Amino acid sequence: MSWPRLAYSGAIGLLSPLIWRRVWREQLPDRARGERMGCLRPFADERPRLWLHCASVGEVVAARPLIRALRLRHPDHRLVVSTMTATGAERVLSLVDDVPEAEAAAPLSHVFVALDFPGAARRFVQRLAPRQAIFFETELWPNLLRACARRGIPVAVVNGRLSPRAFRGYRRLRPLMAESLACVDWLAAKSGEDAERFVELGMASDHIQVVGSMKFDMALDDASLKVSERLHAAIGHRPIWVAGSTHPGEDELLLGVQRRLQARFPDILLVLVPRHPQRFEEVARLCQEAGFETVRRSRGRVPSARAEIYLGDSMGELQALYGTADLAFVGGSLVPIGGHNLLEPALMGVPVVTGPHLDNFEDVAQLLRDAGALVEIADADELVERVAALLEDAEQRKRLSEAGQGVIDTHRGALEATLAGLDRLLGHSQGRWPGSGG
């Protein structure tokens, strides 16, 4: 073992009590703890397997077009999608039937990815034994990558991105990252800037292809559209704005914005959707302590005319909730988180508003900005004014909506380029598949 990976493995070994304490506290199925140590149960059949790893629910949502395409492209395989979180697992399992009934498709399975201890990583890869390993975005785990390379499994990183903040962190570990990236056979980068950052970390430039972001290849979900239509009809004609993927410190600011907007729009409704499900109860208490009439989505109720907050405390419905609104604020951007997916509301034809912290989505933000499809605010005071102005200007909302959808339509294509690259990589690996494992 090289000294960078030895030092890394030693460090996570020292931190293992803290890591396991966190894992133990997570609300995970019983099987998760064994899988976190690489102890996978046997699969239902001996089909060859493709492995896609996504960190959590946000990455699974972004990878949905890829998941669907891989299942249709390789019907004789099994697609295994791993996640770190239970919410990601739920989202994967919700996609089991996400293919046309008439089409032959690979079965879809979920496992929890092994913690990146050397032994757990080796066991996980040995028992999964995929024909191809695909890591989504910035999931670069040194021991998992090395375990794949040792078994001759071709490795791809798709939708590859490195925000300036992530790059600064990884650059401090450049020897470790260079060794890890040497295990990657092909990297599909979202942008030229992302590609340059990967090269600076030690990735071979001739193994990188700039293909764009698969987020632009998202498809409108018929089920989400139906939920949006039903909700909008049930809520009735009143101003509605959504604040999606919100974080601690941000919810309090948004509740203050809602209170100030009520002075100008007495019947305004805020649909508030926290990013993480473990915060649903906390945010519900915040709403009640602030004196808002709050209705919770998880209780199956529709907001009455008196409701001031509709709390989106259900899983997998953010896109549908965006579709109910006159405009959407995308969270993680009023506080220094780095923002979240600006394209989800745009796909639903909803004007997009964001705060100043956009490190994670600066490339997408710039495209929307250039097209006049993004409203940016500096703080909560400006958010009040811009939301109010948009609610009073239907024509401006229409222009923003059309501009946002135009950006999505113009930049589609990353999915096909990614699939072509994965096909080439899989074709080159024929004859060296390590077997079905066990």
Task: pLDDT band for 428, please (50, 70, 90 cuts).
Answer: low
Contact 95, 111 (CB under 8 A): no
209: helix, coil or strand?
strand
Distance CA 317, CA 61 (A): 11
Helix (H, G, I), strand (E, B) or coil at 230: helix
pLDDT at 433 > cutoff 70: no
Sheet holding 269-274, edge to edge: 294-296, 309-311, 269-274, 240-246, 327-330, 352-354, 374-376
Residue type, 287: C
Q: What percent of the chain has pLDDT over 70?
A: 97
* pLDDT of 58 above 90: no
- Which residue of the set 26, 35, 46, 59 is catalytic? 59
Kindly report, residue by residue over 130-171, the tens digit of the pLDDT: 999 999 998 899 999 999 999 999 999 999 999 888 899 999
pLDDT at 186 over 90: yes
Rounded CA separation 435/128 (Å) = 10
Model pLDDT for residues 199-239, shown as the tens digit of each residue: 999 999 999 999 999 989 987 777 888 999 999 888 988 99
Q: Which of 56, 48, 38 is nearest to 80 (CA)?
A: 48
Residue 176's Cα: distance from chain center in Å? 25
**pLDDT at residue 438 greater than cutoff 60:** no
Report residue 98 CA to chain centroid gap: 17
Smallest CA-to-CA distance from 337 within 366, 352, 358, 365 is with: 358
Distance CA 75, CA 65 (A): 16
**Mean pLDDT, to the nearest integer, of 106-120?**
95
Residues 172 and 183: their CA atoms lie apart, in Å, by: 19
The DSSP output letter for 214 is G
Structure-token pair, residue 90: 């739920």
Average pLDDT over residues 165-191: 94
59 is catalytic: yes
Q: CA-based angle 221:334:251, to the nearest 5?
A: 75
pLDDT at 183 over 70: yes
The pLDDT assigned to 436 comes to: 34
CA 70, distance to chain mean position in Å, is: 18
Structure tokens at 384: 């009040």
